[in-house]
Amino acid sequence: DVKVTQSSRYLVKRTGEKVFLECVQDMDHENMFWYRQDPGLGLRLIYFSYDVKMKEKGDIPEGYSVSREKKERFSLILESASTNQTSMYLCASSLTSSRPKGAFFGQGTRLTVV
């Protein structure tokens, strides 16, 4: 089975801190994604990566950056955390060649910025 693992289930950070959310997948997937999930807004795409060192902005990239130095790892960085970034963050991965199967998701990281 595909496994997508996020480094933390819960995080509490202070306003202005630099925050790193880590995601690792074990199935050699080319594509990796970061979404945030907020009540009533569904999942919104922050960034995605289709190859090592390649990235593309999603719909809400402001305040975030990403890093993909290795194929299995995709990091989301909050440069200076703010309270409006309190949310559930979901990482996902997929294979380009088996696109019809859609994306596989990690368990989520609930981030609270105080």
Partner 1 sequence: ELKVEQNPLFLSMQEGKNYTIYCNYSTTSDRLYWYRQDPGKSLESLFVLLSNGAVKQEGRLMASLDTKARLSTLHITAAVHDLSATYFCAVDKEGATNKLIFGTGTLLAVQP
Q: How far is the CB of 67 from partner 1 (least distance, A)?
A: 19
Residues 75-106 as b/e (b if ≥16 CB within 10 A, e otherwise) read bbebeebeeebbbebbbbbbeeeeeeeebbbb
Q: How far is the CB of 18 from partner 1 (least distance, A)?
A: 25
Size of the site for partner 1 (CB under 8 A): 29
Of the candidates 64, 80, 113, the one whose C-alpha atom is nearest the C-alpha of residue 91 is 64
105 binds partner 1 (CB under 8 A): yes
**From 19-27, 62-70, 77-85, 99-107, span contacting partner 1 (CB under 8 A):** 99-107
The two tokens of residue 105 are 């998701």
Nearer to partner 1, 58 or 61 (CB): 58
Q: Which of residues 60-89 bind partner 1 (CB under 8 A)?
A: none
